C-alpha cells in the first residue's frame, strides 16, 4: 500500500488528551501497512521512521514548521 500524507496535525497531534492513542494507532497502522510513503515535513516525523525499514529521499531545505506548530521542529530534517 502506498500512502500520501500531509498535515501532521491529522496523524500526530491529538485534538484532546483522549485522542492521543487513536492518532498513535493510525500512525502505526500506516507504518505497518505501507510500503511507500510520500509526505512533506508535516507528515510522520522522521524520528518515527526506522532507518532499517524506510529509505528516504529528501528534496528542498528544511527551515522549520509553520508558526502554528512551533514545538514541532525536527532537527533530524536539517541534517537529512
Per-residue confidence of the chain (80 residues) as pLDDT tens digits? 777 776 654 445 555 555 667 778 888 999 999 999 998 888 888 999 999 999 999 999 999 988 888 888 999 999 88
Q: What pLDDT, on the 0 to 100 scale, is given for residue 62?
A: 93
Strand, helix or coil for residue 5: strand
The owner of cell 500531509 is 6
Other CB atoms within 10 Å distance of the CB of residue 36:
9
CB atoms within 10 A of CB 47: 10
CA proximity to 48, closest of 17, 15, 5: 5
pLDDT at 20: 66
Give the helix/strand (H/E) hosting 37.
strand 36-39
Amino acid at each position: 500500500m502506498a500512502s500520501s500524507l500531509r498535515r501532521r496535525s491529522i496523524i500526530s497531534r491529538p485534538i484532546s488528551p483522549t485522542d492521543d492513542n487513536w492518532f498513535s494507532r493510525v500512525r502505526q497502522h500506516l507504518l505497518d501497512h505501507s510500503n511507500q510513503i510520500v509526505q512533506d515535513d508535516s507528515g510522520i516525523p522522521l524520528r518515527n521512521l526506522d532507518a532499517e525499514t524506510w529509505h528516504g529521499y529528501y528534496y528542498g531545505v528544511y527551515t522549520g514548521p509553520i508558526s502554528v506548530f512551533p514545538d514541532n521542529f525536527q532537527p533530524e530534517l536539517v541534517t537529512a
